[in-house]
Structure formats: structure tokens, C-alpha cells
Structure 1
Amino acid sequence: MPDSTVGTEREPWQELGLALRRVADIAFATGFVALVTVAAPAALGGGALAQGAPKAGPGQKAGAAQKPAERLLVEAAELVYDNDRNTVTARGNAELHYGARTLQADRVTYDRNASRVFAEGNVRLTEATGAVLTGEKMELTDDFRSGFIDALRVQQTVELNGQPVRTRFSAPRAERIEGDTTSFEYGTYTACEPCKNNPETPPLWQIRATKIVHNNETHTVSFEESTLEIAGIPVAYLPYFETADPTVKRKTGFLTPRFLTSTALGSGIATPFFVNLAPNYDLTLSPAFLSNQGVLGQAEFRHRLETGSYNLRVSGIFQTTPSAFLPGPLGAGDRDFRGAIESKGQFYINDRWRTGWDVVGVTDKWFLDNYRIRNQSITTDYFREAVSTAYLIGQGDRSWFEARGYYFKGLSSFDWQKEQPFVAPVIDYDKRINGPAPLGGEVRFEANITSLTRQATDFQAVQSPTGYLLQPTINGRTYNLYETCTVFERGRCVVRGLAGTNTRASAQLSWRRSFIDDAGQVFTPFAYLRTDAFFVDPRNSGYQNALVQNIARQDADFSGRVLPAVGIDYRYPFVSNFGPLGVHTIEPIAQVIARPSETRIGRLPNEDAQSLIFDDTSLFEWDKFSGYDRVEGGVRTNLGAQYSVVTPAGWYANAMFGESIQIAGVNSFRRGDIANVGLDSGLENRRSDFVGRVQVSPNQNITFITRGRFDQADLGVNRVETGVIARLSPFAPIDLSAFYSYYKAQPALGFANRREGLTASATYHVTPNWFVTGSALIDMSHYLDVRDNFKTAYASYLANPVGDAPVYSNPGRFYLSGMSIGGGYQDECTTVSVNYIVSPTAAALGTSERNRTVLLRLELKTLGEADFRQNLGTAVTADGISTVR
């Protein structure tokens, strides 16, 4: 055996002598670096050590001979040297370590003449990558890199989406080539765990092929004459395909195809092709071949840099059948080319500053929906819109800066883009510091600058406070109809957004400090100074001159306001510990704020303070308006109390009740602005409605919560939300939530009827793998809107009796606005789910329609995923398509 450390031929077994043959640490492999330790029986005594560097064997790369650091460590119960056959055998839990590879077997024999290693019985070869090869017999070269294996099984653990997944290859016979490639004859591949009770049962899915070649150097797996089996049943056949092995996260090649079908598009298939241009950037080309419209081109470029990442996606098509879509303004049937461009990025300037963007541009509002192009930046609720934004954000230990710009693209059929604003910039700054001596406490500075521009005023007609304009008699019955806005008049129209350019700069400096006396009373005095400057140009856009002519009374050019305030917050918690009955706390709360009256109410635009909701969460806010365009004025007191209990067993309950009272000055909520904000809010009277909340949690898995607003005079319900969130495990494998909401009519705000609904969702885990799930959205006041739409439509028919008269169809009290129901199976290797979805869509005429879809999703981990979506029926005007699908 050659020994490069000496440079001469020698037999280490002969040098050690017969006296040490019983316990020999031997280097028995020509081409092995031998560092051998033999675990011999205690009665046999010590051991011996031999070292050497290998020469290149017949099946070994020449470069391998230049690795003197790779040594062989052999451990076995017994070593047998056969001089006649020139072999060395390790028997009894033999374990051989060569470099990063480990070979384990009941018996290992090394044939010096052939430079081959023969392993038998429970053979296990562990690679440097962690992959484990097991078999009944292995015939390998002396460096374990090449050879043949009987009854081979390969198991490897990889990370997929942050979760460990074990993959398995198996074959009755396999060949290992140069340590880089394994060829499986009549092999199988799966990522499923074998059945514990019956390992011979076929896995949930597997690929069976005449030949499987796994190349560890190129990280590819090729399958010849392959069949996909589900529960042992063949379901798909491919003569040949190649995929990246599970260790690869990025590799050039085809991705899972996506199938499309609709009346307008025809049948088609999208074939994504991924190009791994570099470790930090790639390109995905996804042409979709559609039988009715031609080729839809899609491409996405992604680039990751040291400080951030961005992506760019473009899509477009020259339609061969534009007439499949409705003509404008209800569709894009008059367009030959349609497309979109989308981009998203974020970059970190340093550890405190970051910048980025998320933009969407489309040729028409129906394109993304018509061609089933998915975008997470698009809201898919009742009203669809795409929001484009760019931003700069800075964050300190006690400060925050954010500058943004927004562009809103309405995607519903009835949206008028000229009413959508372009908002830039929106700048917010918030800084908190410790108050200077002797004030102490906390000083906070807040600032906001907002500028927006729109071409046309966004308006809405509301019920006249003196009655109804139209009272037609139809079939002997008199209907009260709401008027429409032809000329702006306060009380009959509200302005959601004003045409022109509006810019506002606001700043607020505040201070607060809490004092606790010996009795436990908490006094928190506070003060703030609020200033606002408005630069307003309420232009008559030319589109709505008649409508907006009366808004000319609104302040134009420069306006300003200054509002100082002082106040105090008082709380006196009473705490009692009743041992096993828990800790009970009763806390009266009183707050008084003194400030001048709000000025120029209704003479300034209101863009960001329209979502006024008076409830328990806003009762003790210094300013109950949601944005900067409005500011609460006058002297006001907020009164309330809350009770809570926490028991050692985990029971928790909390209740709060209170009201707000205007003491002096002008009530900001009594005078509506051009959007009527403040009216019908529960705060418009001197004494507000009562607000309250009750929350009960018997344990950490179940929570009941109810909050509401109740009339000050008779405690009538004006607003209520109540529901439960529960995870019933381990008592029952059910997760559920259910909420009921009721909002009284707010005619001054454009809600002529009450709004009432119920939403619920639940998931039942039948077994740890099987589940069923469902959700429902029930509109309990939809019939009121249908009734009013019918009245308006009938009045229009009476004014111009062309065609058939509209027919009233009552949808019933419980209208299923949206729902989903489905189920599926999920385990370590497979996810399959089927869902039937009914979702609300905004039709072209503003009526409520429902879109019915069946969605099938299948994921075979490490291979890919696919989904199939089929629309069962859509209103003809809901998506700009001229025929029902």
C-alpha cells in the first residue's frame, strides 16, 4: 500500500505483526487516507494506528489524490485480514469515516486488487450534505464516490418556505457515479412520510419512473417514462421531464403552468419560464396562449441589492376579439391593445431611513380582472381600486418621519377617474421628548402637510331635511323618492372631495404629565396648541359647473386657524383582591378640556376627517375627529367608568360606559361641514349618546365582545357590534368567529337606511390532516337599498317611459352577500383544497351582484403547485364582459 509520507511500498498489517492482529487499527484501502481505530473487545487489549495519503485509484479523480487531509477512520467489533485474497474485512457495526462521508454496515470488505468496497447488511451512507443513502448491498470505489447499490433508499432534509421537508428516492438497483450523480433504475420519488403502521403502503403521492437521474453537481433531477401516482393510482404520465432538486431555490426552467378559461378569453394556458440571471436578480416570462384573444405577454424582473430590492412586471396583449368585452364606458371593447405595468421596491438608506414605492398603471380599469392577473396591491372588496404610492420613512428612538405620495385608480365600472385625487406630498412628523424642568412629563410635537388635486368634485345626494322632492303614485301607492344633486345646496348634497388643489399644513405641540397621590388618585394635566394653514383653490372644473356653483362661498386662497387647549384627566382606581375570585378594579374617569370654538366650519375642505366614529375607543380622545382637516373646539367634559376582573383561573372581564358633554362654546359636531361630518354622529347634541363596551374572556381561547352607542334620551340602539372569537381546542378542533353589526340610518351622511349584517367564519379540523371551512356575509338591510333603487328607477321610467317598466324583486331580509365553503387535506407533503366562493361585485350601474367561483388548489411539495379557478356566473356588467360566463 503506498504511503506518501514515506514514499515506499509497505504492508501496514505485516509491520504491526501477528501479535497485534486481534486489535489492529488498519488502513486497508488503496486510495484511502487511513486513520483507523478499531473498537475491539476489552479482553483483546489495545490498538494500533496507521496513517497515509492515497494514490488515485481506477475509479477516482486524479485531484482526489492531492487531498492528504482526507483520512479514513474505521470502527468495528472485528477486523479480518485475508492475505490470500488480498482483502480486509470489518465486521460487527462497522463504521467508516472518509472525509465528510460516513459508511455504516454490518460487514464491510475491501478488495485491494479491485480497489472496491463491498458493504452488506443495513448499509447506510451519509453524505456531507446530510443526505442519507440506505440499501441492502453497496459496491463502491475506495473513496465511496462511485459504485452500485441494491435496494437503495435516499432520504434528504431540505428547507421549503421556512419548513423542513424530507425527500425520498428509492430503487431496487442504482448506480453512483463520481459522487455527484445517482442513477435509479425503476425508481420512485416522494416527499411524503411512509405510513408508520404499514410502511409498504404507497405514499399519498409519488413519481415512478423507468429511470431517475439525480445530479448533485447541477442540482437537477430528470425522470424518464414517469408516472404520477396518487395513493398508488396512476393519474398522469410524462415521457420525460427535468426539475431542480429540492435543495435548489432558484434555477432556470419552466414553472407550473396555469390554465385559464372564460367566454371572453376562451381556453388557454400560461407557461411561466424562470431565468436565473444571477444570484441576486432573475426574470420570469409568462406568455399565455388564449384561443379567443391571442397571446398575452407577461414578464417580471426581480433584483435584490445590498440595501434593498425591487421588481418590475409588465403585461399586455393585442386583442384579436375586442368585441368580447363591453364597449366604453362599461368595458374596454373598443381597445385593441390592453396592458399594465407594476413595480414595487424598498431600499434601506441606513438603519433609520428607508424609501420605496408600490405603483400600478393600467390602460383600462377592467384589464387586470378580465385577464385574471393577480396583484396584492389591489383591494378586492366591494369597491376595487389600485393604490400607487412612493414613500420615505425615518424612525428614531422617539421620533417618526414619513413622506408619501398617492395615486388612486378606480377599478369599478361606475368609478369616474376625474373624481379620484392625486395626493402628494403627505408628510408626517412625530417627536417625543422628556419635558423640561420643572414641567417634567412628556412633550410631543406632531406635524402634517398634505396637498391633493382632483379634476371633478366628488358629490353625493342626501335626503332633504324638509321631506322628499318626488312623490309619484304607482299602481295606487305613493312612493317617497330621494332627490338628486343638480346644484350644490347644503343639506341636500355632501361633497366627498372638492375639485381643485387643496394644501394644508398642521402642527401641534402638546404636554402631559401624570401625578399619583397617596390615595391612589391619578391626575394627568395636559395642554396643547394646534395650528393649521390652508391653501385652497376650489375650482369649477368644467365638468360640474352647475353642480358646484354654490360652493363658491367656501374660503379660497389662504386661511388659517389657531386652537390652544388645556385640560385634565382624572382617574381613581379602586382595587380589591378576593383571592380565588380574582382581582377586581373599578375606575371612575373624568376629563375636562377647555379651548376656543372651532372656526370656519364648512368653509374649509374635509378630505381626511370623514370617518368619524364615536364609541368607547374615542370617548377620551382629546380630538375625536379622525384627521387634520377638522379640529374639535369648545369646552367639553368626557365622563365614564370602567370595571375589570382577573381571576387566577384565567377568567377576564372588562366593562366601560360613558358619555361626552359640551359645556360651552360651539359644538363642532352640531355644524356639518361640506361632507356633513359631525351630524348623526351621536355627538351633535349637548349631551352625547352613551357609549359602552363589554368584553368577557373565560380563558385565553374564547373572547366575547360587545360595543355600542345608545341614544341619550331613551337608550335606543344607534350602533352596536357584538361577536365572539373562539378556539375550542382541546375540547373540540374548531376555530370560529361571528359578528353582528347594526348601524342606525344616518340620512345626513347619505345613509338613508339602517345598515345591518352578520359575518361568520369557522374551521373544523376533522382529523389532524382533514379540515372543512366556511364563511358567510349576510346583508340584513339589502332589501331596503333594492326597494329604493326600484323607486328611483320607476320614477325615471315615468319621466321617460321607454321600454319595459322595471319590476320589483324583493331579495328577502337575509341576503347572502358573500360566502365561501370548502375543505381540504394537508400534511407534510401535500396540500389540496376545494372552495366554492360567492363574492360581491360592483356592477356598472352600481347595483350589487354576486360572483360565483370554484377554486381548486393542489400543492405537491418540492414539485410545485397548481390551481384551477372557474367562474360559474357573473353579472354581464360586473367586469366589462359582454356575455354571461
Structure 2
Amino acid sequence: MNVGVRRMARFATATALASSLAYMLTAGGIAVAQAPAAAQNPAGAKPQAGAKPQERMVVDARELVYDKDNNTVSAVGDVQILYQGRTIEADKVVYDRASKRVIATGNARITETNGTVISGDHFNLTDDFRDGFIDSLRVVNPDKTRFTAPRGERTDGETFIFDKGIYTACEPCKDNPERPPLWQVRAARIIHKKSEQTIYYEDARLEFLGVPMAYVPYMSGPDSTVKRKSGFLSPKFLNTGALGYGVGLPYFLNLAPDYDLTITPTYLTRQGLLGQVEWRQRLVNGAYKIRATGIFQQDQTAFLATPLGAGDKEFRGSIESNGKFYLNPRWSFGWNVAMSTDRWFYKNYRITNESISSTTYLQESISTVYLNGQSETAWFDMRGYYFQPLTSTDWQKQQPVVLPVIDYDKRINKPSFLGGELTFNANVTALHRDATAYQQIPSQSAYLVTTPSYSLYDGCAVYQKSTCLVRGLAGNTARATAEVSWRRNFIDSIGQVWTPYASLRADVFSINPSTTGYANANATTIADTSDEMFGRAMPAIGLMYRYPFVAKTSWGTHIIEPVAQIIARPNETSSLRVANEDSQSLVFDDTNLFEWSSKFSGYDRLEGGTRANVGARYTGRFGTDGYANALFGQSYSIAGRNSFARGDLVNTGLDSGLDTSRSDYVARAQISPFKNFVLTGAARLNESTFEAQRIDAGATYSNSIFSATVGYGRYEPQPDLGIPRRREGLSLNGSVLVAQNWRVRAGVLFDLDKYKYDREVWRASYAAGTATIATYPNTTPFQTASTSFGVNYTDECTIFDVSYTQNYADKQVSGTNKDTRTIMFKLELKTLGQITYSQNLGGSSTGDGVSQ
């Protein structure tokens, strides 16, 4: 055997003998590190002329060995070869010219152009490194997903075949790399076709910590590079008494880069096949989606009959759609629509939708269509609303159809003739309602507050102002409002800030009440049934005074700022003629104490008379992270008629703390003595006794290990508004990191006033002879309203979450007579899929339309 061996300095050898290797390789030329001219090309071999830089090969090694007998060239010692964007590293690389194969041994590794790292004990590759066999194969992708196998093969430069392969998205344990990851898929063969972006598994089993948990003869799924690909999605499971056991298997159709379709058949053992289709499309200037759901019920007896349920309906379903399109950079058009055949469908069949607003006391589906435009100084919004109630206690005929609602705001900074800021606001609202919406004001007896029955007219079969509130009139109601206002800050030589203000507002109303076809014909006692149009105008002038005092101490910086404001207006007119639709919510607190336009929440009511608002603000900074701010103030009705003492059809303003000449006091404080800890509090105090009328308080602390939140609320009765009971509650929520990646959370809500109400109910029943001493409620102030508990595990490849919630029945408040207990489970394996499941435990509650 004739073997020629040359040993030289590292770079000289790589430079000189790379030319020989280049001569043997037919795929392209070689570029090597620069060396002295005498050392270049000593063998006389010439690189291929015209080779493109990206096709040339760069070889670096401690030595090169040329074997003429075997027609091979070997690079030995810390070998590194760069070719067509790939990098191969090994202890030794041998090129066999006859077979055009490259054999790499000893710590062999290939780094692909996309960052994928392929390593093994022994590589047998083609001369372009694209195809070949690898022993003890390990593949780590840029997203940290990884494959391992005793032996693997790559063909066509893009298909990997792993014999007895393992796939996981979990990183190996740093302390013990040989320990099995949290989860992995082990299969007889794993085939990864990059061109299809698909991974195929044959005879696969899913293992957790090395323990087999599930077996699948054959399965496939997209690889981690896929954003959209046709195929089955994670199954959905559900189980309720009315539906039976159910499983849904969504199938996603990637029809085009800009649109797709998802079909989800769900088989329910008691009700049959529930079908769902969702279409999504993205256009040049926006996107939209449409989802339709429907079922022909097999067992209608599982649900109550009308009007308490949909048991008399064979077909039930819903349709939802939302979208948004940009007409140009400033204007957009969109919609969010959800409609169902009945109010119980979403709840009965566990259908979720973004347009559904749901709390303990309110459930409704809100559909809207809108046109919006905005610039740096102006804003325009036009939309319409349709409300579908989702509870048994609401009546569709009492829900308004609102079309249109138009808002326009324009701000002019520093107008040339006035300076300061000039603003213009306009609003147009029109709505229609088939039947008048009433609410009975509960009456107070010696021991018990009577709660009105849930009925279409809510205890107001005959309207009386002292016992009934009118939430909305039947018929057509419309209003147009325009307001222009100006204000400007002046700072004098000693730092006092003076802000004059002036505004003019005009409203035009059109009210056409209707009494046709429904028993609430007593609406004639509320308003004239003929068309009525009237208007009102409200000019206002005002002045605000502020004088900030700044003090610096050794422990912080403090700013104390007394504030006084006076606004003069004529009396409000037509308050009893106005159908108050958008100003029914009034909470007097620190946020609206110094409100310029009106303390009412909407446009239908307007603040009149002359009013002064006074208070003081404090702001402090302590050290690096500590801060505090506070406000305390009061409002005075000093001339004219107090609008808040004059109740409208819903008594807005009464029991608000503003309905006396001297208002209640309002206060707010926020303190953070150090990082991650915040105390907040707000209160409204009676103006003569300082008794708390409204309290909101909370404390929050959080760090990487522990977080906790405490909330407290107390609201005194507002009998004129139909709220006869004091509401008081305490919430506790927290979470703690109990181990690496493991977090436990829990929460509880206490109804601190319910025990008083339960005892009042017993006393009234005892006085009536329907209760005994044995039934006396032996309760404590800490009556639990709801509890929750959850455990979460999150790492780089897995999310596991299980939670339990229980809402306790309170028929007097929410109309439910049974506790609601729900357990939810979620398992997400990165790149592989996720499974979610929720289950209601126990019986159904009154109001969900399900037979008991």
C-alpha cells in the first residue's frame, strides 16, 4: 500500500492540501484560509474555474492525509468543513473519491443553514452532505425540539427516517441528561418529511417520565415549522346530564394561504350529532370569520319546555361572525355578531363566543356593527347594537335595538383667538323597544325585604312611580346632542394654576312610546303616546383653582395640592320627560368629583344648577420604588335645582351621595411602600355622620415565588334604586411556586352580609308560623359565595393545569337554587397538541333550561 502523509502547521496544511480534496470533489471548488504564496497549491491542482463563492468548500483541520492506493483524502483533528451553508465538524473526515461518500467519525456534527444540529457517532454521507446514514443519531431543531435514534437515514436532503426513534420538545435534564424527559413519543419508525412539514409515527406510544401512557399504531402531525396545515386538531370532550358523553374531532382545511375551514363534528350520546363549521379569511385590508353550529336534538325531554327552556325545539343552533377591515389608515369597519335559536343554547351545549357577556348576575349576547375613524385630534364612531338575553328571567321584547349610535369628538389645541383647548362633542342615539322594561322597587317589612318575582313585568303590572322603575320605554326614542367647550390653564408668578372653563350644550329628543300588543299598556301613565319632540340647552361657565406645594424631606418628595372648582349652570329641564337609557349608572367617587361636563354617566341626563367641588390631592415619592397618592373632597350644590335630588324614571341620582346640598365625602388613596406591594382604597362617607356608604379596598403583593390579592367591598342599601340590601364581600386570592415549574393557586369570596339576610328571612317565616326554632340559620358572617383551587405546571415543553370552582347558590340574588361546581383540565404538549376538558359536577341550577 502506498500512502502519502504530510504533516505541517495547521493552516498551511489545510491550505495546501485542500486543493487536492477540491480536485477530487466534483460538486464545486474549495476556498481555504489565506497562506503565503509559496504554500498555495503545491501539488499543482487547480480549483475549478468560475465556482460561485456560495458553492466553494472551506476545510480546516490539523492535518490532511492523501491515500493514493485507496483514492481517499482524510482530514484529521478538529475538522471543520463549510459547504453550501452547512458546517460539518468531526475528529476525522474521509472522502472516498470512487464512491463519492464522506465518512465522519468521532464527535461528528452537522449544522444546517436553518440552525438544526445533527450529531452522531458515525456519518456516511454523500459528497454534498445531504443524504446518508448516521449512527447514534441526535437532531436538535432551532425551536429545541429533538429526535434521537440508534440509526437514522436522510434522503433527498429533506426526509429523515429514525429507526426506533424518539421525539420530544423537552430539554434534557442538566444534572442527569440520561434521565427520560417529562414526555416523549417513542416509535418503531419516525419519518420527518420537511417538504411536507409533517412527522409520521409508526407503532408509537406516548411516555411520561419514561412510563408508557398511550399507544397509537399510526399517527402523523405537523412539525414545529408549520403555522397552517390541513389535518385533525386536538379532540374536545364534554359530559353533562342533558347531553351525555361527547367527543368532538375538529378537522382543519388549509384551503389557501388567506382562508381556511374548520369542521367539528361532535357526537353526544344523548342528543346525537352536533355540527360546527368555521370559515376564516384574511383579505388585503382586513379579516373576518363565520361560525355556524346546529343540532337536531334526539332527546328533547332533557330540557324544559318554553318559556323555561328549549325542550319543544327539535333544531337548535347559532351563528356567529366577526370581522374588521381598514378602509384607509384612519377608517375601519367591522362587526361582532352572535345569534342563537334560543337563549339557553350556548350554555346547554357549551358554546363559547367573544360577544357573550357573562357574570353571576348578567348573561347576554351583544351584536354590533361599527364604523370608526380617528386622527390626532378627532374621533368618530358609528354603530348599532342588538341584545339577546341568555337567562330565563329576561324577555326579548324588552331588549332595545339601538341604531344608530354616533359619537364625534374634535379637539383644537391653542385656538388662535382663545388659546387653551377647544373641544366639540356630538352624539346621536336612536333605539326601538317592543315592550316597556320595568323593575319593582322592593318593599321593606319589619324583618324582611320582599324580593319581586321574576316575571315579564317584574311586579309592575300597574305602574306606580313610588313602586316601579322604568328601565326603558316601549316604542321609538331618539336624541341628538352637541356640545362645545373651552378651557385654558394660567399659571401666575407664585405658581397658582387658574383654569377658566365655558361650554354650551344642546339636546333634541324625540319620544314615541308604544303600547300596542302587550299587557304593559299602562305606559300611557308614563308618557304621552303621541309623537313628542322637545329640546333643552345648557350653558355653563366655571373656574378651577390649584396651588401645588412641593416639599423635600430626607425620606421623600411630597406634593400637596388644594383644588377648588365652581361651575354655574341653569336648572336642568325635562328630566321627568326623558327616557333615561344611557345614564342609569351613577357612582359618585374621586374619579368624577372634578368632572367638568356632568357627573352623569351618559347623555340622557345633564347636571344643572351651580355646584362647587373642593378637595386636596397628595403625591409622594419615597426612595427608589415607594410612592403614594391620595385625594379627599366634597361637592356642594350652592344655587339652583340639584339635578341629583330629582329622580327620573329610574331614580338616577337618588341615594348617590350627591342628592343633598352638601354631598358625601369621597376619598381615595394608593400606597406602595416598596416594590411589588400596593395598597389601594376608595370610600364615600356620609356628609354628616362620616358613616361609610361605599368602600372599595385592596392589597396586592407579588414576586417570582408568591402572589396574593385581598379585596374588600361594602355598599350600603340604595332603596330608591331597587337595591334594599347592603352588599359586603371579601375576596382572597393567591398563588405560590411550590417547586420548580409548579404553582398552586386558590381563591375564596365571602358574602359578609348574607347571614343577616338569612336570619331576617327566618324571622319573617317564624312570625308567619312557617319556620321553627330548629330551622334557625346558625351562620357566621363569613358565608362563602365561591371558592376556587388550581394547580399549574409550566415548562419549555408542557403546560398542565387543573382547576376546581364552586359557586354557592343564592336564590335571593341570582335565582339559582343549587351550587355550581366545575372542574377543568388542560394538557398542552408543545408541537404535539393539547387536550382540554371541563365537567360540571352535581345537578343543574334553576334558569339554565335543563330538566332537573
Task: Give the structure-1-normalised TM-score.
Answer: 0.89
CA-to-aligned-CA distance 1:394-442 (integer Å, 9 cap, x gap) = 0101111111111111111211111111111111111000243341000
Instruction: For 1:78 and 1:431, locate their aligned partners in 2 and report how far apart those are by CA, in whole Å.
Output: 78
Contact 1:426 1:448 in 2 (8 A): yes
Q: Which amino acid aligns with 1:760?
A: L
Contact 1:655 1:693 in 2 (8 A): yes
Q: Which amino acid aligns with 1:170?
A: T
Structure 2 match to 1:770: 742
Structure 2 match to 1:660: 635
Aligned-pair CA distance for 1:815? 2.9
1:135-150 residue pairs with structure 2 within 5 A?
Answer: 135-150=120-135
Instruction: For 2:57 and 2:765, locate their aligned partners in 1 and report how far apart those are by CA, in whole Å.
Output: 91
Structure 2 match to 1:837: 805
* Aligned-partner SS, 2:141: strand
* Aligned-partner SS, 1:519: coil
Contact 1:526 1:567 in 2 (8 A): yes
Q: Which amino acid aligns with 1:769?
A: N
Aligned-pair CA distance for 1:825? 0.9
Aligned-pair CA distance for 1:67? 8.8
User: Structure 1 residue 30 and structure 2 residue 25: aligned?
Assistant: yes
1:359-758 residue pairs with structure 2 within 5 A?
Answer: 359-382=337-360, 383-463=362-442, 481=450, 484-552=459-527, 557-578=532-553, 580-622=554-596, 623-729=598-704, 733-758=705-730
Q: CA distance change for structure 1 residues 501 and 870 in 2, over 3 Å: closer, same or farther?
A: same
CA-to-aligned-CA distance 1:742-794 (integer Å, 9 cap, x gap) = 00100000000111111232111123401001222222223456677889999
Instruction: For 1:399 and 1:525, locate their aligned partners in 2 and report how far apart those are by CA, in whole Å.
Output: 23
CA-to-aligned-CA distance 1:577-622 (integer Å, 9 cap, x gap) = 12x3211111111000001010012211111111100011111112
Structure 2 match to 1:51: 47
CA-to-aligned-CA distance 1:278-315 (integer Å, 9 cap, x gap) = 01110000000111111100010100111110001001
Picking from 202, 212, 219, the partner of 2:190 is 212
Contact 1:454 1:498 in 2 (8 A): yes
Q: Which runs of 5+ in 2 are unaligned?
A: 1-5, 7-11, 453-458
Q: Which amino acid aligns with 1:197?
A: D
Structure 1 match to 2:793: 825
CA-to-aligned-CA distance 1:651-692 (integer Å, 9 cap, x gap) = 212221110000100000001000000000000000001111
Contact 1:38 1:78 in 2 (8 A): no
Instruction: For 1:768 and 1:261, locate their aligned partners in 2 and report how far apart those are by CA, in whole Å.
Output: 33
* Aligned-partner SS, 1:601: coil
Aligned-pair CA distance for 1:70? 2.3
Instruction: For 1:482 and 1:549, locate their aligned partners in 2 and report how far apart those are by CA, in whole Å.
Output: 26
Instruction: For 1:36 and 1:283, locate their aligned partners in 2 and report how far apart those are by CA, in whole Å.
Output: 51
Contact 1:267 1:292 in 2 (8 A): yes
Q: CA distance change for structure 1 residues 841 and 450 in 2, over 3 Å: closer, same or farther?
A: farther
Aligned-pair CA distance for 1:68? 9.2
User: Structure 1 residue 851 and structure 2 residue 806: aligned?
Assistant: no
Aligned-pair CA distance for 1:541? 4.4
Moved more, 643-652 or 711-720: 643-652
Q: Which runs of 4+ in 1 moved over 6 A?
A: 19-22, 787-795, 807-811, 840-845
Aligned-pair CA distance for 1:46? 5.3
Q: How many residues align?
A: 827
Structure 2 match to 1:475: none
Instruction: For 1:554 and 1:82, locate their aligned partners in 2 and report how far apart those are by CA, in whole Å.
Output: 109
Instruction: For 2:41 and 2:120, locate their aligned partners in 1 and report how far apart those are by CA, in whole Å.
Output: 31
Structure 2 match to 1:862: 831
Q: Which amino acid aligns with 1:432?
A: R
Contact 1:20 1:47 in 2 (8 A): no
CA-to-aligned-CA distance 1:802-855 (integer Å, 9 cap, x gap) = xxxxx8867753332222101121100001111001246898983464310111
User: Structure 1 residue 759 and structure 2 residue 759: aligned?
Assistant: no
Aligned-pair CA distance for 1:146? 1.2
Structure 2 match to 1:311: 289
Instruction: For 1:438 and 1:335, locate their aligned partners in 2 and report how far apart those are by CA, in whole Å.
Output: 68
Instruction: For 1:202 and 1:44, locate their aligned partners in 2 and report how far apart those are by CA, in whole Å.
Output: 55
Q: CA distance change for structure 1 residues 22 and 193 in 2, over 3 Å: closer, same or farther?
A: closer
1:287-302 residue pairs with structure 2 within 5 A?
Answer: 287-302=265-280
Moved more, 420-429 or 765-774: 765-774
* Aligned-partner SS, 1:199: coil
* Aligned-partner SS, 1:418: helix
CA-to-aligned-CA distance 1:138-192 (integer Å, 9 cap, x gap) = 000111121100011001123xxxxxxx100000100111111010000100000
Q: Which amino acid aligns with 1:707?
A: A
Q: Which amino acid aligns with 1:858?
A: L
Instruction: For 1:502 and 1:286, locate their aligned partners in 2 and report how far apart those are by CA, in whole Å.
Output: 43
Aligned-pair CA distance for 1:134? 0.7
* Aligned-partner SS, 1:548: helix
1:798-813 residue pairs with structure 2 within 5 A?
Answer: 813=781
Q: Which amino acid aligns with 1:51?
A: P
Structure 1 match to 2:851: 882
Contact 1:412 1:842 in 2 (8 A): no
Identity, % of aligned positions? 49
Q: Which amino acid aligns with 1:217?
A: S
Q: Which amino acid aligns with 2:16?
A: V
Q: CA distance change for structure 1 residues 352 and 785 in 2, over 3 Å: closer, same or farther?
A: farther
Moved more, 25-34 or 245-254: 25-34
Structure 2 match to 1:93: 78
Instruction: For 1:656 and 1:68, locate their aligned partners in 2 and report how far apart those are by CA, in whole Å.
Output: 71
Aligned-pair CA distance for 1:101? 1.8
Instruction: For 1:842 and 1:110, locate their aligned partners in 2 and report how far apart those are by CA, in whole Å.
Output: 81
Structure 2 match to 1:59: none
Aligned-pair CA distance for 1:876? 4.0
Instruction: For 1:707 and 1:648, locate their aligned partners in 2 and report how far apart those are by CA, in whole Å.
Output: 25
Q: CA distance change for structure 1 residues 848 and 745 in 2, over 3 Å: closer, same or farther?
A: farther
Q: Which amino acid aligns with 2:471?
A: R
Q: Which runs of 5+ in 1 are unaligned?
A: 1-12, 14-18, 55-65, 159-165, 472-477, 802-806
Q: Which amino acid aligns with 1:692?
A: A
Contact 2:13 2:64 in 1 (8 A): no
* Aligned-partner SS, 1:157: coil
User: Structure 1 residue 125 and structure 2 residue 110: aligned?
Assistant: yes
Structure 2 match to 1:57: none
Instruction: For 2:732 and 2:39, locate their aligned partners in 1 and report how far apart those are by CA, in whole Å.
Output: 76
Q: CA distance change for structure 1 residues 230 and 20 in 2, over 3 Å: closer, same or farther?
A: closer
Q: Which amino acid aligns with 1:612?
A: L
Q: CA distance change for structure 1 residues 305 and 793 in 2, over 3 Å: closer, same or farther?
A: farther
Q: CA distance change for structure 1 residues 808 and 564 in 2, over 3 Å: closer, same or farther?
A: farther
Q: CA distance change for structure 1 residues 528 and 228 in 2, over 3 Å: closer, same or farther?
A: same
Contact 2:819 2:845 in 1 (8 A): no
Contact 1:424 1:452 in 2 (8 A): yes
Aligned-pair CA distance for 1:21? 9.3
Q: CA distance change for structure 1 residues 21 and 727 in 2, over 3 Å: closer, same or farther?
A: closer
Moved more, 580-589 or 870-879: 870-879
Q: CA distance change for structure 1 residues 643 and 554 in 2, over 3 Å: closer, same or farther?
A: farther
* Aligned-partner SS, 2:819: strand
Instruction: For 2:750 and 2:441, locate their aligned partners in 1 and report how far apart those are by CA, in whole Å.
Output: 25
Instruction: For 2:725 and 2:651, locate their aligned partners in 1 and report how far apart those are by CA, in whole Å.
Output: 17
